[in-house]
């Protein structure tokens, strides 16, 4: 299992153990952290699961697809650390990940 450290919009911190194969979005949903709307359910057709990956962890996750890049372009809160939580999967290559939930657009 991997560790997921979450900082919510209100500054609350949570730590979750995440099973391999789940996305960050699924882990947050399953834990009852409802700040992410995730309207498309993880189908990569909205940007309502926007999160910021800490700079220290950015190099441990896979690259962004062009579709994810295009969706994030619509966010006024986009930064260099922006990712969509539905696209961040725990595939066994990441032991721990630290994220902050992005402000709502």
Helices and strands per DSSP (H, E), number in the chain: 3, 5
pLDDT for residue 50? 97
Please state, in angstroms and rounded to a whole number, the distance separating the CA atoms of residues 50 and 37.
9
Q: Is the pLDDT of residue 105 over 90?
A: no
- What is the average pLDDT across 74-92? 95
Confidence tier at 77 by pLDDT (50, 70, 90)? very high
Confidence tier at 31 by pLDDT (50, 70, 90)? very high
CATH architecture, domain defined by 2-101: Roll (3.10)
52 φ/ψ angles, rounded to the nearest 5 degrees? -110, 125
Mean pLDDT of the chain: 95
Domain boundaries, the chain: 2-101
């Amino acid at each position: 299992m991997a560790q997921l450290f979450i900082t919510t919009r209100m500054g609350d911190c949570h730590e979750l153990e995440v099973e391999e194969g789940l996305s960050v979005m699924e882990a947050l949903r399953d834990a009852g952290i409802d700040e992410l709307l995730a309207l498309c359910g993880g189908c990569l057709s909205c940007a309502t699961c926007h999160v910021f990956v800490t700079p220290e962890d950015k190099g441990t996750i896979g690259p962004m697809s062009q579709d994810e890049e295009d969706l994030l372009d619509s966010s006024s809160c986009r930064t260099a650390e922006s990712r969509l939580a539905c696209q961040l999967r725990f595939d066994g290559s990441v032991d721990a990940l630290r994220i902050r939930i992005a402000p709502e657009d």
